[in-house]
């Protein structure tokens, strides 16, 4: 599943084209991609056509595009979703929703929402005030409105968000009676982190994935948070993690951070730090990758 860096690459790629753009047409090719849309607010096509997009915003793995009427087009990529910028008339296989826009700087364009497994989707949603009074999510704007879509309001801020509260995160982590990796995957505590980057950050911080969160000292928690940010920033700079053609940016180009991984997917290979073979163990219907020497359970 795409994690924060992959989604941010998409957001940043879309932002110059969609900011200030007028939505000129909408084609829904597969209604299953609208399962999150509340039809009571109006049909998806009718509430979008003729509206102007104000920005491209992200919180964790969620994207939204505020509209001039105070609502927002919310997008979640799910496991295989893509948002591809195309010239008019260019189609993509497995396009579920096609949105035509007139960009102030780039003219007529298409935004094709492509989704192989159809776990992602789009919806037009109402906006709510943020609980902390800060902008709802990360965007290229210097200061955004203190609003967040109702479908995203329960999602915690991500560690690259300027409004992320380090002290709150460390405090809540110290009270959680759960393994540290489970805590990192809890999107109501810290968003944007999935299986890949959790393994990478824990390896960098030398923390075992099953260590109880409450046993992590405040100092170690601060170190872990710093390593999370470093891993995410590195992945973002390198275009995100790409293992197959599903994970691409708005131009259909794959990321390449997979070549820089230290733990995830390296079972049986020597640890880059101590040379011990990386181990893989079952975890929450997935897997955890760690060094049994560097990441001893304390």
Q: In sequence order, what DSSP letters do the residues of 241-262 get, joined into one string?
A: --SSTTSB-TTS-B--GGGG-S
In the set 3, 8, 15, 227, the catalytic residue is: 3
Comparing 80 with 202, the larger pLDDT belongs to 202
Q: Looking at residues 51-74, what average pLDDT do you find?
A: 96
Q: Looking at residues 8-15, what average pLDDT do you find?
A: 91
Cβ-proximal residues to 258 (8 Å cutoff; 6+ apart), any chain: 241, 242, 243, 265
Q: Looking at residues 55-82, what average pLDDT do you find?
A: 94
Q: Is 286 a residue of the active site? A: yes
Give burial (CB, 10 Å; 0-12/13-18/19+) of 57. buried
Is residue 16 scored above 60 in pLDDT?
Answer: yes
Is residue 256 scored above 70 in pLDDT?
Answer: no
Is residue 43 scored above 50 in pLDDT?
Answer: yes
pLDDT recorded at residue 240: 60
User: How many angstroms separate the Cα of 29 from the Cα of each of 93, 97, 115, 241, 275?
Assistant: 11, 6, 11, 28, 51
Q: In degrees, to the nearest 5, what angle opens at C-alpha 196 toward C-alphas 224 and 9?
A: 95
Cβ-proximal residues to 11 (8 Å cutoff; 6+ apart), any chain: 56, 57, 58, 63, 138, 139
Could you tell me the pLDDT band of residue 140, with boundaries at 50, 70 and 90?
confident
In the set 126, 286, 297, 298, the catalytic residue is: 286
Could you tell me the pLDDT band of residue 149, with boundaries at 50, 70 and 90?
very high
User: Within a 10 A sphere around the Cβ of 292, how many other Cβ atoms?
Assistant: 15
Q: Which of 75-84, 242-251, 274-283 is predicted with the least confidence, judged by mean pLDDT?
A: 242-251
Q: Looking at residues 70-82, what average pLDDT do you find?
A: 93
Q: Is 234 a residue of the active site? A: no
Is residue 250 scored above 80 in pLDDT?
Answer: no
Determine contact, residues 205/224, Cβ cutoff 8 Å: yes
Determine contact, residues 109/87, Cβ cutoff 8 Å: yes
Q: Looking at residues 258-268, what average pLDDT do you find?
A: 87
Q: Is 3 a residue of the active site? A: yes
Is residue 243 scored above 50 in pLDDT?
Answer: no
Closest CA to 45 of 58, 54, 33: 33
Could you tell me the pLDDT band of residue 225, with boundaries at 50, 70 and 90?
very high
Angle between helices 218-237 and 195-205 (to 10 degrees): 130
Is residue 244 scored above 50 in pLDDT?
Answer: no
Q: Looking at residues 206-214, what average pLDDT do you find?
A: 97
Could you tell me the pLDDT band of residue 1, with boundaries at 50, 70 and 90?
low
Q: Looking at residues 167-182, what average pLDDT do you find?
A: 95
Is residue 207 scored above 80 in pLDDT?
Answer: yes
pLDDT recorded at residue 221: 97
Could you tell me the pLDDT band of residue 171, with boundaries at 50, 70 and 90?
very high
pLDDT recorded at residue 30: 97
In the set 59, 61, 98, 266, the catalytic residue is: 61
150-171 core/surface letters (b: 16 or more CB in 10 A; e: else): ebbbebbbbbbbebbeeeebbe
pLDDT recorded at residue 260: 79
In the set 2, 5, 66, 149, the catalytic residue is: 2
Confidence (pTM)? 0.91
Is residue 137 scored above 70 in pLDDT?
Answer: yes
Residue 44 token pair: 């998806």
pLDDT recorded at residue 298: 84
Q: Looking at residues 45-72, what average pLDDT do you find?
A: 96
Token match 């982590």: residue?
Answer: 173
Is residue 248 scored above 90 in pLDDT?
Answer: no
Phi-psi domain of 97 (left: phi exceeds 0; alpha: psi -120 through 50; beta: other):
beta
Is residue 242 scored above 90 in pLDDT?
Answer: no
Q: Is 176 a residue of the active site? A: no
Closest CA to 65 of 134, 125, 107, 120: 125
Is residue 245 scored above 70 in pLDDT?
Answer: no
Closest CA to 189 of 172, 207, 167: 172
């Amino acid at each position: 599943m795409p994690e924060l860096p992959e989604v941010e690459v998409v957001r940043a790629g879309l932002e110059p084209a969609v900011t200030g753009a007028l939505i000129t047409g909408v084609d829904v090719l597969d209604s299953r991609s609208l399962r999150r849309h509340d039809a009571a607010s109006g049909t998806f096509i009718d509430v979008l056509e003729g509206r102007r997009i104000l920005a491209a915003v992200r919180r964790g793995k969620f994207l939204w595009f505020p509209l001039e009427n105070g609502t927002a087009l919310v997008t979640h990529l799910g496991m295989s979703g893509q948002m591809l910028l195309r010239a008019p008339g260019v189609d993509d296989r497995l396009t579920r929703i096609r949105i035509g826009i007139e960009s102030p700087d780039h003219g007529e364009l298409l935004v094709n929402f492509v989704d192989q497994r159809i776990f992602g989707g789009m919806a037009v949603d109402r906006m709510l005030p943020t609980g902390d009074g800060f902008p709802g999510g990360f965007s290229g704007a210097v200061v955004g409105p203190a609003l967040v879509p109702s479908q995203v309001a329960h999602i915690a801020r991500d560690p690259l968000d300027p409004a992320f509260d380090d002290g709150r995160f460390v405090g809540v982590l110290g009270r959680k009676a759960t393994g540290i990796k489970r805590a990192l995957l809890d999107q109501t505590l810290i968003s944007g982190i999935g299986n890949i980057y959790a393994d990478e950050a824990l390896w960098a911080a030398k923390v075992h994935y099953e260590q109880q969160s409450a046993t992590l000292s405040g100092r170690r928690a601060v170190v872990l948070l710093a390593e999370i940010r470093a891993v995410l920033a590195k992945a973002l700079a390198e275009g995100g993690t790409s293992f197959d053609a599903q994970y691409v940016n708005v131009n259909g180009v794959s990321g390449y951070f997979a070549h820089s991984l230290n733990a995830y997917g390296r079972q049986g290979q020597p640890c880059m730090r101590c040379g011990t073979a990386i181990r893989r163990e079952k975890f929450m219907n997935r897997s955890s990758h760690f060094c049994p020497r560097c990441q001893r359970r304390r």
